[in-house]
């Protein structure tokens, strides 16, 4: 179990709850897949591969979506890597 899995609950609806602060936010299906992948300890390439398969997009699109979501997480101090 990593730090993220202890700190956050995620729901299929896209709701993500920070158990430390009580704050919540929502993510679209792409963001939710990335966030859950981070919780599972997946690296960038694994997440991009998952996105291409799940959403039938090319590597470029998956990478862009991944990078945009990571920027959002960092803006809320929710991503350390």
> pLDDT (tens digit, 9 = 90+) per residue, 3-19?
778 889 999 999 999 99
Structure confidence at residue 78 (pLDDT): 77
Q: Which CATH class is domain 3-75?
A: mainly alpha
Give residue limits of the domains in the chain.
Answer: 3-75
Q: Look at residue 80 in the predicted model and tell me its pLDDT.
A: 66
Rounded CA Rg of the chain: 12
The model's pTM is 0.90
Q: How far is CA 26 from CA 12, 18, 23, 45, in A?
A: 10, 11, 11, 24
pLDDT for res 2: 67
pLDDT for 57 beyond 60:
yes
């Amino acid at each position: 179990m990593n730090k993220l899995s202890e700190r956050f609950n995620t729901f299929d609806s896209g709701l993500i709850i920070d158990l430390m602060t009580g704050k919540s936010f929502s993510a679209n299906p792409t963001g939710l897949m990335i966030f859950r992948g981070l919780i599972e300890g997946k690296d960038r390439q694994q997440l991009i591969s998952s996105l291409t398969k799940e959403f039938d997009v090319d590597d470029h699109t998956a990478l862009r979506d991944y990078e945009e979501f990571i920027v959002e997480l960092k803006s809320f101090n929710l991503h350390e890597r």
